[in-house]
Amino acid sequence: MPKCIIFDCDGTLVDSEFLANKALAIQLNTVGVEADPADLVARYRGWKLANILHSISTRLNVNLPSNFVAAYRRTFSVLCQQELKPIEGVKETLEQINIPICVASSGPMHKIQESLDLTGLSDFFGDDLFSAYDVSSWKPDPGLFLFAAEQMRVSPNDCWVVEDSQVGIQAAMAAGMRPIYFAPEACQDSPPEVEHIQQMTQLLDLLG
């Protein structure tokens, strides 16, 4: 059994993956690029934003303006204020976990905090929030998860990581932690040794 559970945020705790890519599609439309949010989710789930934008620029041969990121974040924040919800079953699950938990996300700290505040999840984690921007390490690099374990004073091999992206699963495995792949849809792209849950409450079954 783990001594700590590390949760990703977007798509794992809060239902923000589609909103983030909806905001990205809206912003891309302002520079003449049409994109489908669902396609963006499928292609870029869990990626670092800078890498997403680099890929789009290269793939579509488009130059994004210098204010693109700031404008995108404003659009995303507005959508979150209007539509963001916790993942189904998350609150019930967190209420029943009695070991230390934390959040380790590729998003900036203000985005993590805003997402948790808007969805009523902040009290479950307190200050145990860790951002890739603060340690300059993005998944699939294990650095963020290793930093989270160090801050939580737990050995990496005593940690479970709940993730909804392949890059997150890769980072957890590289960190020597047990990955739990949260994918509500049928899972076809996960290594066979990785536990797959389709509902967040199934995490409680794994904890016994």
| 13 to 56, 63, 120, 153: CA distances (angstroms) | 27, 33, 11, 23
- Catalytic residue status for 8: yes
Best CA proximity match to 181, nearest among 206, 158, 159, 198:
198
**What amino acid occupies position 109?**
M
Indicate which residue of 8, 10, 15, 141 is catalytic.
Answer: 8
Please name the residue that has the structure tokens 């960190």: 175
Q: Using omega within 30 degrees of 0 as the cis cutoff, is the peptide bond preceding 142 cis?
A: no
Distance CA 72, CA 78 (A): 10
Distance CA 14, CA 155 (A): 27
Please list, in sequence order, all residues whose beta carbon lies within 8 angstroms of the beta carbon of residue 30, skipping any fewer than 6 positions away.
71
151 within 8 A of 129, measured Cβ to Cβ: no
Q: Which residues are catalytic?
A: 8
